[in-house]
Amino acid sequence: MILPTGAGKSVIFQSTALTLNRVAGGTTIVISSLLALIEDQITRLKRRDIEVCKIDGTVSKSMKLKCLNRALCGEVPLVYMTPEQLQNPEIAKLLLEGDINYIVFDEAHSVTR
């Protein structure tokens, strides 16, 4: 989906993720290379008491593992991560074995090799 900044793209995939999680369980993975955007979205979701976690270079190994374990079981509806995390074998396991509903590339134009 291509829409201008502030047009509500995030709300579309977030509401879908929350609905799927409530109805059938599972997690939606959101991949974004923009750390500030990840922080902003996580802060907004947590203010609404929505379970969410992130996996990026700023997160400790123990917090990454906690997030991964919760995502594997579908306990958290949204997991935000940066693209480089896709090279992590633990993330590969999550994507192969976890209860994953969708993978969303947010701000895909900013993802490079």
Within the chain, what is the greatest distance between any pair of CA atoms? 37
pLDDT per residue as tens, the chain (113 positions): 666 666 567 888 898 899 988 998 899 999 998 888 899 999 999 999 999 999 999 999 899 999 988 888 888 999 999 999 989 888 888 888 888 888 888 865 555 55
Q: Which residue has the tokens 């997991």?
A: 79
Q: Which residue has the tokens 């969410």?
A: 52
Assigned CATH topology for domain 11-110: Rossmann fold (3.40.50)
pTM: 0.85
Of 98, 106, 96, 105, which is closest to residue 77 (Cα–Cα)?
A: 98
Domain chopping of the chain, boundaries: 11-110
